[in-house]
Structure formats: C-alpha cells, structure tokens
A = this chain, B = another copy of it.
C-alpha cells in the first residue's frame, strides 16, 4: 500500500515523449539543466512518498466531518499541507513575480502526478488553487492580484471553483446565482452552489472562492455569466457572508470535503469581478483547461499507484502452478495475471505520455511556436483528461481483480483506489463532454489543420519503426500504422459530418472517437519510448528497463491498440442509433 514515485519512468517520458531533451537543447527552459529536472522530480517523489502517501487511508477512514459550518480535515493533513507548501511545491510553475518558481509546466505535470498518486483527495486542494491562480493571473485586476495572488501561489490560502448549482451541472446556461454592484467596486453575491471541493476546510486561514453568477439584466444563457472573487475572510479580517451548508457522502475521495455553499444568506457575500462583466465563462475556461489536464494527471497517478500495489501483491501471493512449475507459483507467473498487470502498466504509461505531451504544448505556447502549440494543447487537453481517467477506472478495477477476494475487502486498499478514481471521469466536465469538446470544438480548429498536424506527428513516430525494423519491436510499427490510418479516416468522417451540418452523426461517435485518439496517441507515446530505449541499448546502455520499455510498447500494440479498427467501425456507423434510440430504450 506504499507508493514509490516512478522517477526514472517519468523522466524517460518527459525526455523522449514530451520532448524535454529537445526543449532543453533549444534553450526553451532558460538555464534549466536535465540534472535540475531530475533532482526536482526526485525530491518531489520523496515528499509524495513520505509526507502525502501515508495520509491516503487516513483520509478515507476519517472523512471530513462538518460541525457548525466548520470542517475538520483528517488527522495529519494540516501538518502535511504545511510541510508541502513550505517546500514551495504549490508555486512550482507559477510566475516568479508572484512568488512562483517559474519552472516548466511539464515538470509541474510530473509532480502533480506524484501528489495525486500519493492521495487524490489531498492533491485535489492544490489542483483547484492552481486553477484559481491561473484565472486570477490572466484575468484579474492589478488590485485583486496584489491582494490575493501571492498568497495563492505560496499556498497560504487556497482557491475553489464555484460553478455547479443543483439545476446547473454540465449546463452552465442554467445558472441562477446573482450579483449586484454595491457602488464601491464590490458586489453582493447571493446563491447556492453544490459540489464545491474544499469549499470549507481547516488547512488554511482563508479560502478564495471564484464564483460564477449573473449580474442584473445580464443576457440569458452562458453569455450573461460573470466571475467573482469571494473570499471567506474579508480584507478587514471579518467573515464574509458565505458558509458551508452541507457535505456529500461520497463513493470515494473521502479525505476531501465536497461542500454545498450558501452565499449571501445575510444579504450578500462581498466579492469582486474578475475580468469583464458577462465574460465569466471565458475566465472559467482558463481555470478549467488547466484543471482538465491536472485531472488527467490524477488519473495517471492513481493508475500508477493501483498498478504498483497489484504488482506487489502478485509477487507475494502464491496460488496455482504456472506451466512447468512444481509448486504453487506467485500469481505474477500466470499469463492471465501478467495480462492484467501489463494492461495496467501500459495504459498508465500511455496516459502519462499524453498528459506530459499536453503540458509540453502549453510550455511551447509561451515560446516561438506560440499559437500553434496552444492549439495543439487545446486539441490534446480533452484526450488527456478523458482517456487518462477512463483508463484510471479500468486500471483501478483491474487492481481489485488482481487481488481476488482480497481486493473486495476494504482493508487491502485496492478498492479505495477504484472508489477514488471513479470521480475523475465525472468532474471538471464529464468524459462525454470532453469527447464532444474534442469533436465539435477541437477538430475544426484551423480548418482541421491542428488535428492533421497531430496525425502527421503520429506518422513520424510510426516511420521510426520502418527506418529501424529491430526484431524486438515485433509488430509495433505495423499496428501503429494501422491505428493511425483508422484515426485518420475517423477524423475525416467527423470533420465531414460537422461540415455537412450533421452534428448528431459526429456527436454520436464522439466517445469512441476520443478513445481511438487516446489509444493511437498513447500507442505512439509508448512507441517513442521503445524507439528511444532501443537507441539507448544500441548506444551501449545496459539498463534492463530499456528492454522492458520495448516489451511494454509491444504488449500495448498487440493487445490494446488492436481495438482501433473496431472503434473506427463504430464511429463510421455514424450514429444511426440516434434515430431509433427512444424506440430501443422504450420497452
């Protein structure tokens, strides 16, 4: 049940999948050296392993009781949070002007994976603060930045996102919370919000709520929503008119409070506008894009942890004789258990590659590549979020399965990973919404040029196997090419459906399309690792992990990427089912 930060694997993915070597060589990260990156990961790994990981079970068992409007975090959480922010981890990639360390997002991505592998419930708090920092940095007035940004960057205060209302979950057009200007530049906010993660807690003295609400006379729908900063404690030290009115009893992430929030019961909570009036959704999307990648990284983290635990169990537990064995073998010797463990590991590393690649695109968007890289990040973000969290559900469920009956017993911890992971495909935009975002908004970017460029980059990876047809690769290259062609055809189908004004045909295939994209992109990530590992072996490196990376990519190609063609067929069926869905569901 311990967690060992897989620093070598992460560094390898950063270097050879997410282009860290190339970025460092191009001077894109200033004077940062590879050794620095490695040292940062190693240090973060120690903190994740020793400070955060031990909180995970404690959080699950204790939960976060609410009493008289105050929430008590589980034993040890306050101290751990303090240690963590004292290490400067909260502001790792934030602007040095506000106290951040200005390090690349790819490094922060790897660290985010580690915090969340150690405990999703813990990692969720800084994840929301990070979104708040970004929204404030990009859209906040200088005055608001001065008052709030430094303390959010240091982690002395935390941030929340207040979007959801009972009638408005995925559909923000239905929001009803109201805001009225007071005349002194501040507003009075009134409304009820639900599912507010860390909406109340005792980790810090103040909580900075970012709240979506409507101004009087604002247009209906999403164009009449504004974003407000509403602190728990006002600048004069008094309590604002807001409170936690309840907490949810959830399937998982018990260590993190999920609050109902009441704003303005006594006349109105005081808040300040962030960005322009009625443009709150744009500001919120700034938060959400960052948060979506980070949720993808939560998926990678919990998948890695579930994998490690299952592997450890499979090495200890003896049941049945593997072919050729005279006595009971450790279950890791059985082909079916190997299949489960390799599936867990291959999916985890594929998802890691996609997430790190997305973070790299965000870093590159700050450099000469600019908008092109930004669009690439926009394209990849829904895949990073949804694919990584879908596989997190699958991997954590396999983790239970590897444990057999022990997996169903809570004491073992495998079931907790499965329970905790289940929220990831739902929050920050359900995975169905991610798929719609990918198909309806991201594929058409630049008339399809962004997705075509991404497919071209996948082809370059596949060509690497043609150029260097080492027998150890098996059919990696062939499977990857077949998968890319499936993705290419499916992409053409989707773009054509959108262009022909048949959105329902495109939307009906959105979920299998996202899965296909993730599988092929993930297969390419593992393929790049295999190519780099092979080159390292040929260069005389003796690390046995290299041969393991080739074997893992081959497993993925032979056993998981094989689903590509079937997904293509489903997409190309074109959503005929939407015509008679009501009939089929009626009986």
Contact = CB atoms under 8 A, between A and B. Distances in A.
Interface of A: 6, 8-9, 164, 167-171, 173-174, 194-195, 248-252, 311, 318-320, 323, 328, 332, 334-342, 345, 393, 397, 400-401, 404-405, 407-411, 415, 418-419, 422-423, 425-427, 430-432, 435-436, 474-475, 503-504, 507-508, 510-512, 544-545, 547-549, 551-552, 554-555, 558-559, 562-567, 569-570, 573, 575-578, 580-587
A562 B567 contact: yes
A360 B236 CA distance: 77
A292 to B, nearest CB: 16
A338 B578 contact: yes
Contacts of A436: 336
Contacts of A249: 409-411
A586 B545 contact: yes
Given A504-B323, A507-B336, A250 B570 contact: no
Contacts of A341: 581, 585
A551 B580 contact: yes
A194 B575 CA distance: 49
Given A248-B409, A338-B578, A408-B426, 4 more contacts: A168-B319, A250-B408, A335-B581, A548-B580
B573 A558 contact: yes
Contacts of A338: 508, 577-578, 581, 585
Nearest to A311: B585
B174 A435 contact: no
A430 B334 CA distance: 13
Nearest to A569: B562
Nearest to A561: B566
Contact of A408 (B251, B431, B507, B549): B251
Contacts of A319: 168-171, 174
A174 B425 CA distance: 41
Q: Which of A194, A401, A551 has the most CB of B within 10 A?
A: A551
Contacts of A426: 400-401, 404-405, 407-408
Contact of A584 (B328, B405, B555): B555
Given A332-B585, A548-B585, A405 B427 contact: yes
A418 B422 contact: yes
Contacts of A339: 508, 511, 577
Given A397-B393, A503-B323, A504-B323, A547 B583 contact: yes
Nearest to A411: B249
B405 A576 contact: no
A578 B335 CA distance: 6
A551 B577 CA distance: 7
A422 B393 CA distance: 12
A408 B252 contact: yes
Contacts of A565: 565-566
List the 10 closest A-B pairs by CB distance, nearest first: A545-B587, A551-B584, A551-B580, A558-B573, A171-B319, A562-B566, A338-B581, A336-B432, A335-B508, A251-B415
Contacts of A432: 334, 336-337, 340, 401
Nearest to A581: B338
Given A511-B336, A576-B474, A173 B408 contact: no
Given A249-B409, A252-B408, A338-B578, A544 B401 contact: no
17 contacts: A169-B319, A170-B320, A249-B411, A251-B400, A251-B419, A323-B503, A332-B582, A336-B510, A401-B431, A405-B426, A408-B426, A419-B419, A475-B573, A512-B559, A548-B583, A554-B576, A563-B566
A148 to B, nearest CB: 27
Contacts of A503: 323
A472 to B, nearest CB: 9
A382 to B, nearest CB: 13
A561 B338 CA distance: 26
A328 B430 contact: no
A13 B228 CA distance: 57
Contacts of A431: 401
Given A169-B319, A174-B319, A409-B249, A587 B549 contact: yes
A565 B479 CA distance: 13
Given A335-B504, A410-B249, A552 B171 contact: no
A171 B252 contact: no
B587 A544 contact: yes
A177 B337 CA distance: 27
A569 B560 CA distance: 10
Contacts of A410: 249-251
A551 B583 contact: yes
Contacts of A334: 432, 507
Contacts of A422: 397, 400, 408, 415, 418
Max chain B CB contacts within 10 Å: which of A345, A393, A558, A587?
A587
A508 to B, nearest CB: 4
Nearest to A555: B577
Contacts of A340: 432
